[in-house]
Amino acid sequence: MFKVSQEMRLNTQSASSTSTSNSSGSGLEGNSPEEGGIFGRYQRTPDADAYPSEPPRVYVAPELTDARKVQLLHFPSGAVRVNSSMGFIIKRNGVKGNFEVRVEGPSGQPIQPVQQQQLDPERFQIDCRLDAGAGLYKVHIKCNSVTLPRSPFIIVAIAGAPESIDGRPANTSVSILDSDASKVHSRGLGLTHVSLVERNEFTVDCSQAGSNMLLVGVLGQRGPCEEVVVKHLGRSIHRVSYKVCDPGDYMLVVKWGEQHIPGSPFNLSAE
């Protein structure tokens, strides 16, 4: 137990007064400081008397979070109008913990409020309003203080309707006549297989579905895919190509206006 060796003297004069009186009666004389002392070499531990006065503390490490498993569903892939609402869904995919979502405007100021609603144990709905002007909005997402890959996610907000020459708002409304997403037909390998080597393609025939706008998005485990190209070939027939770089599961969403076309969303896997 003892670490350091040192010489010590114990003063036992006061404790041995009786012994001193007996020694004087026996003829011993002198009051030397060595008298009544006990010499020897002792071992002592540095700060051996410094015992802790507080109970021991137990530290619990936070649960490890694999943020790569978290998915964002319906995240805006194109430009969004200023002063409009933006929403998407966070899917935890078994990851436990709390999510923190923070939205920054073009000037870097946080956007308030950001509403978070739990749809089920696996999904959360995030909603906020882009009312800080046109520009780039950044969406920061953390789970258990762990930042999701590719966070912050970028949303492009553009100004409202352009003005005409005389300063009055131009009429940019488009009439939607007999729009029926159930009459949209799609075909191609890009709807069933995903290649990591080359672009994936498929065609969408909207010639029988009335007048509306075709919206296409591809979402992977790390967010929207790198490239989605929609080209109008004429007669309301579109060719869609997209490219992914990471293996894993993907969700392909094809909408005719606000409605999904038959088969959408398509669940795909890239290996």
Tell me the CATH number at 83.
Answer: 2.60.40.10
Confirm whether 140 is domain-assigned: yes
Is the per-residue pLDDT at 48 higher than 60? Answer: no
Single out the residue in 100, 125, 158 at which a domain terminates. 158
pLDDT tens track for 124-171: 899 999 888 888 899 999 988 888 888 888 888 887 554 444 445 444
Note if the bond before 46 is cis, omega within 30 degrees. no
pTM of the predicted model as reported, rounded to 2 decimal places: 0.40
Confirm whether 93 is domain-assigned: yes
| Residue 246 sits in the same domain as residue 194 | yes
Give the residue-averaged pLDDT of 51-68.
Answer: 62
| Residue 98 sits in the same domain as residue 139 | yes
Average pLDDT value over all residues in the chain: 77
pLDDT tens track for 164-198: 444 454 444 444 456 888 999 999 999 998 888 88
Domain of residue 37: give its range: 4-44
Confirm whether 26 is domain-assigned: yes
Q: What is the pLDDT of residue 220?
A: 84
| Residue 190 sits in the same domain as residue 246 | yes
| Confidence tier at 2 by pLDDT (50, 70, 90) | very low
Confirm whether 49 is domain-assigned: no
| Residue 29 sits in the same domain as residue 101 | no
Domains identified in the chain, total number: 3
